[in-house]
Amino acid sequence: MDARIAAAPGRNPKESELAMAAGTRHLSFPQVESGANRLNKEKEDIQTRLTHLKAMIDQLVSSDFVTDRASGEFQQDYDRTMAPVRSCGAWRA
């Protein structure tokens, strides 16, 4: 059980345990809004990091990391690895 739920102000810990066992959670709108804001911020941070990493890989493949086969295969592996991330809409680059 999440200690934050059990320790919620005005909630009996046993009541919280029963609510969790039944799959019921009581959240206020500000709690939901705060959680959504945190998730959106984390999503933006991940997108920023992925974009930065993609730029690094593109730079590496296009100029610094050039061989007969390896650079192209590296790019293909990267693209194959990122395909699921792109398909779920989590990243737009």
How would residue 83 be classed by pLDDT, with cut points 50, 70 and 90? confident
CA atoms within 13 A on the CB side of 63: 4
Q: What is the pLDDT of residues 9-64, one digit of tens each?
A: 555 666 656 555 666 778 889 999 999 999 999 999 998 998 898 888 888 777 76
Altogether, the residues listed in the chain come to a count of 93
**What is the reported pLDDT for 39?**
95
* Distance, CA of 13 to CA of 3 (rounded, Å): 9
Question: Where are the domains positioned within the chain?
Answer: 3-87
